[in-house]
Structure 1
């Protein structure tokens, strides 16, 4: 168990980072900040981001 402890700790850190990224994405989506790469609500980039 002593040899596996660093592996478990690093795995938990990576898992925590992954969960934080996913939770932030869900939070942003619920607040109306989608995954548009232009950084806005697609008002300025219009047809270049999404097909209508």
Structure 2
């Protein structure tokens, strides 16, 4: 599947998909869910969750 095809299915721009791939953009929960559904995967299988290492004080 191309970036453009995925973008069309998700109703976002190709640039959004590129930014997701490069880690410059965090998707909304709705977009993350849509992408996971398209690939028949869970959100956790598609996206890495990294906890913030800095504590808020």
TM bin, normalised by shorter chain, reads under 0.3
The TM-score with structure 2 as length reference comes to 0.23
Q: Which has the higher contact order (CA 8 A, sep 6+)?
A: 2
The TM-score with structure 1 as length reference comes to 0.24
